[in-house]
Amino acid sequence: MAADRSPDPPRPVADLDWSPKRARAFGERTLDLWERFLTELPSLPVAGAWTADEVARAVARPVPEEPMPDDELFAYLRDVAFDWSMYPGHPRFMAYITGTGTVPGAAADLLASGLNMNLGGWRLSPSGTEIELLLLRWFAEQFGLPSSAGGLLTSGGAMANFVALKTARDHRAGWDIRAKGVLAGPPLALYASEEVHVTTDREADMLGLGAEAVRKIPVDGDFRMRVDDLERAIGRDRAAGLRPFAVVATAGTVATGAVDPLPAIADLCARESLWLHVDGAYGGPAVLADDLRPLFVGIERADSIAFDPHKWMYTPHSGGCVLMRDARHLSESFAAQAGYVHEDKERTGHGPDLGMMGPQFSRGFQALKVWVSLLAHGRRAYARRISHDAELARYMAEQVRARRELELVAPVTLSICCFRYVPDDLAAGTPGRDEYLDELNERLMTAIQLDGRAYCSNAILHGRFVLRACIVNFRTEAADCDATLDVATELGEKLDAELRPDRLRAGA
């Protein structure tokens, strides 16, 4: 009888397991591309005038059965980087609120990916979790929150606001809403200004409240929430049987950078027992700048704060942050027991699992790029540069005022300058003037974005379409602001010459 033979052990499959030498060679070629990008960035167009079809065709490759040779792969990456990308870190990119991307942050991202810790669990990320926790404590101190505070890094501001509002809902609803759902109590309502970021509606929707649960409060002439209207709206809702639970104050609105009157809103929240959430996704990091910090007085009274390192702390995408006055509220709102994740924390001495404090279970090491950027640059560099961005926005506003064809349309509070092109010879009172200016400026924004020399976006203010430059960019300087206004003036004049004869035949 043949003796029992155990099967041969499986042979190694090492295709994916590159040697350190191979890893380095691959990494160095990536570094070469990055260095070239940093060298050439100021002379590259900010963006190209491509259609989606053109880009889709250019970047498409069949997934090969066998490895693509390095030369071919890096030629492809070079084309992606230099022919088919646009650059939010370009000195003349001033659109939306999209930060520059710190250099040490990008390098840290490579290391974070290389280590590949999972910051959902402490034991899967001992140094990672502790770095995220100490980063959060540092941020909480910058906002003046007490030692009970804590938080979480998120994908961005939308998710940070969502986490905060979910926590507010669960904590203030007045019944076990996590278990019983929203129908087990009266309809909930929350309050924000008309200038609040659009994702607040989506967050209310995601929370099962419906977007109409967000009551939009009118703003004053400086685009700040009117607290008297807020108080009246809360009273009306209570009388109608709704349960108000939170106010979202914005510290740096997306359109103009306005900061809501935080002390008065905090007083009202205290009187009405409402959760105060401050959306500082854009403006929050300005607390680091001595000259801007006074605008944020009252933020230290918030129950929660959202802000985005990937906006005005310039770290690479993506990374937002939510802070809680009392860190325990996060676990109360997000804890879930997974039987297969057993751990005796007493015996191991391990720390908290961040995957139990927010919507994500597995989490990446986003904290490293933020932390390494802070270590490499130091706090003062941030304070100086944030302050400088705001100074540049004020400078730009002065330049707008000095140009006959440009009109400043909102005060500059932080680092946003809103303006529009108004042809010098288009008299006030001309019939159809406002509609014509809307169309002209809408066409102008598109023309600027396609032109490639500069890049700005728009805002709708008092129902009118205006151009908007937002500087959260450590490469932007005064000459870039001038150049952007030059491009706006040049293209505005050209478009006006094309459009006006047709559009304002009667009135011009």
Applying CB under 6 A, does 97 fall inside the site for ligand PLP?
Answer: yes
Write each residue from 158 to 197 as x if it is in contact with ligand PLP (CB under 6 A), else as -, in one continuous string.
Answer: x--x-----------------------------------x
Comparing CB distances to ligand PLP, the nearer of 112 and 254 is: 254
* Cβ-Cβ contacts under 8 Å for 352 (sequence gap 6 or more): 122, 129, 133, 331
Which residues on adjacent β-strands are paired with residue 458?
Answer: 467
Cα angle, residue 179 at apex, residues 156 and 244 outer, rounded to 5°: 65
Among 102, 250, 315, 399, binds ligand PLP (CB under 6 A): 250
Question: Least distance (Å) from ligand PLP to the CB of residue 285?
Answer: 12
Structure tokens belonging to residue 128? 């990672």
Applying CB under 6 A, does 333 fall inside the site for ligand PLP?
Answer: no
Q: Which stretch binds ligand PLP (CB under 6 A): 115-123, 152-160, 388-396, 443-451?
A: 152-160
Q: Is 56 exposed, middle or buried (0-12, 13-18, 19+ CB in 10 A)?
A: exposed
Q: What's the CA gap between 175 and 173, in Å, rounded?
A: 6
Comparing CB distances to ligand PLP, the nearer of 156 and 423 is: 156
Question: Least distance (Å) from ligand PLP to the CB of residue 158?
Answer: 3
Which strands form 304-307's sheet, in the order they lie side by side?
150-154, 320-324, 304-307, 275-280, 243-250, 188-193, 214-217
Question: Least distance (Å) from ligand PLP to the CB of residue 317?
Answer: 8
Give how far Cα 273 sits from Cα of 169, 171, 313, Å: 13, 12, 33
Among 122, 282, 334, 365, binds ligand PLP (CB under 6 A): 282
Q: How many residues contact ligand PLP, by CB under 6 A?
A: 14
Among 102, 199, 387, 413, binds ligand PLP (CB under 6 A): 199
CA atoms within 13 A on the CB side of 51: 3
Applying CB under 6 A, does 412 fall inside the site for ligand PLP?
Answer: no
Applying CB under 6 A, does 256 fall inside the site for ligand PLP?
Answer: no
* Cβ-Cβ contacts under 8 Å for 480 (sequence gap 6 or more): 91, 92, 94, 454
Question: Least distance (Å) from ligand PLP to the CB of residue 316?
Answer: 13
Applying CB under 6 A, does 157 fall inside the site for ligand PLP?
Answer: yes
Relative to beta strand 304-307, strand 416-421 is unpaired
* Cβ-Cβ contacts under 8 Å for 431 (sequence gap 6 or more): 506, 507
Give how far Cα 140 sits from Cα of 133, 143, 212, 313, 415, Å: 10, 5, 31, 15, 23
Structure tokens belonging to residue 199? 């994702």
Question: Least distance (Å) from ligand PLP to the CB of residue 361?
Answer: 20
Comparing CB distances to ligand PLP, the nearer of 177 and 418 is: 418
Write each residue from 291 to 310 as x if it is in contact with ligand PLP (CB under 6 A), else as -, in one continuous string.
Answer: -----------------x--
Comparing CB distances to ligand PLP, the nearer of 122 and 143 is: 143
Q: Is 50 helix (H, G, I), strand (E, B) or coil?
A: coil
Question: Least distance (Å) from ligand PLP to the CB of residue 283?
Answer: 7
Relative to beta strand 304-307, strand 275-280 is parallel
Comparing CB distances to ligand PLP, the nearer of 177 and 207 is: 207
Which residues on adjacent β-strands are paired with residue 97?
Answer: none
Q: In sequence order, what DSSP letters do the residues of 320-351 get, joined into one string?
A: EEEEESSTHHHHHHH----TT----HHHH---
Comparing CB distances to ligand PLP, the nearer of 162 and 465 is: 162
Applying CB under 6 A, does 207 fall inside the site for ligand PLP?
Answer: no
Q: Where are the alpha helices (DSSP H) in 250-343?
A: 262-272, 309-312, 328-334
Comparing CB distances to ligand PLP, the nearer of 282 and 436 is: 282
Among 47, 163, 204, 254, binds ligand PLP (CB under 6 A): 254
Q: Which stretch binds ligand PLP (CB under 6 A): 71-79, 221-229, 263-271, 275-283?
A: 275-283
**Listed residue (212, 224, 155) closest to 187, CA to CA:** 212
Among 192, 207, 278, 281, binds ligand PLP (CB under 6 A): 281
Residues within the interface to ligand PLP (CB under 6 A): 97, 156-158, 161, 197, 199, 250, 254, 279, 281-282, 308, 320
